[in-house]
Amino acid sequence: MDSLSPKYLLKIFENFTTGNYDHKTLHNCIFVNKQWSSLAISILWRNPLEIINNGYNGYNNKISIILIIKTYITCLPKESKDSFIKNGFQLSEEILRQASHDYPSHLQIINYQNFHLAIPFWIKENYHQKESNERIFCYYQLFDHIFKMLMNKCRKIYRIDLYDLQGSTKIIHFPLLPDSEKCLSNITEFYYKGKKHSDLMYILSQKCTQIKSFQLEDLDGSSTNNGLVQLFERQKVPLESLSVNTKNRIPLSIEDIIKKKENIDSIDKLKLSGCSRIFMVNCKNLKELDIDLNSDVRMGDSSWFPKLEKLRVTISYNNLNIVSDILKDHQNKIKYLHFRKNTHRIYNPQRYKEFSKFSENLIEYCPNLVVYEGPFFGFKIRKNLLLKFFRTCSNLEKLRFINFISDKTYKFDDILKSLSDDIPKKLNTLCLDSYWEFNAETLDVFLSGCKKRLTNKLKLEIPLERKSHGINLVLDKYVRKNVLFKEHIIVSTEKDV
For the chain, what are the domain ranges?
1-44, 48-187, 358-497
Residue 337, classed as helix, strand or coil, is strand
Amino acid sitting at position 15: N
380 CB-near residues (< 8 Å, 6+ apart): none
Instruction: Give pLDDT, residue 89.
Output: 84
Which three-class secondary structure string do you get for 408-453?
CCEECHHHHHHCCCCCCCCCCEEECCCCEECCHHHHHHHHHHHHHH
State how far the alpha carbon of 61 is from the alpha carbons of 48, 49, 58, 127, 152, in Å: 12, 10, 5, 20, 28
CA 448, CA 420: separation in Å to the nearest integer? 7
Give the tens place of pLDDT for each residue, 314-373. Answer: 876 667 888 898 999 899 999 999 998 765 554 555 566 777 888 999 999 999 999 999
483 CB-near residues (< 8 Å, 6+ apart): 447, 450, 451, 454, 457, 458
DSSP structure class, residue 142: H
CA 243, CA 288: separation in Å to the nearest integer? 11
Nearest to 193 by CA among 240, 225, 168, 156: 225
| pLDDT exceeds cutoff 70 at 302 | no
Whether the Cβ atoms of residue 26 and residue 16 lie closer than 8 Å to each other: yes
- The larger pLDDT score, comparing residue 431 to residue 343, is at 431
Instruction: Give pLDDT, residue 225.
Output: 84
| pLDDT exceeds cutoff 90 at 3 | no
Whether the Cβ atoms of residue 480 and residue 451 lie closer than 8 Å to each other: no
CB-neighbour burial class of residue 7 (10 A; exposed 0-12, middle 13-18, buried 19+): exposed
pLDDT band at 456 (very low <50, low <70, confident <90, very high): very high
Give the tens place of pLDDT for each residue, 65-81. Answer: 999 999 999 999 999 99
* φ and ψ of 159, to 5 deg: -145, 145
pLDDT band at 495 (very low <50, low <70, confident <90, very high): very low
42 CB-near residues (< 8 Å, 6+ apart): 10, 106
Sign of CA dihedral 16, 17, 22, 24: positive
| pLDDT exceeds cutoff 60 at 39 | yes
CA 302, CA 329: separation in Å to the nearest integer? 9
CA 308, CA 284: separation in Å to the nearest integer? 9
86 CB-near residues (< 8 Å, 6+ apart): none
User: How many Å from the N-terminal Cα to the C-terminal Cα in the chain?
Assistant: 39
| pLDDT exceeds cutoff 80 at 203 | yes
Average pLDDT over residues 97-106: 93
331 CB-near residues (< 8 Å, 6+ apart): 364, 365, 366
281 CB-near residues (< 8 Å, 6+ apart): 300, 302, 303, 304
Average pLDDT over residues 392-410: 84
376 CB-near residues (< 8 Å, 6+ apart): 359, 362, 385, 386, 389, 401, 433
Taking domain 358-497, whether its CATH number is 3.80.10 is answered by yes
| pLDDT exceeds cutoff 50 at 496 | no
Average pLDDT over residues 171-181: 94
Instruction: Give pLDDT, residue 55.
Output: 61
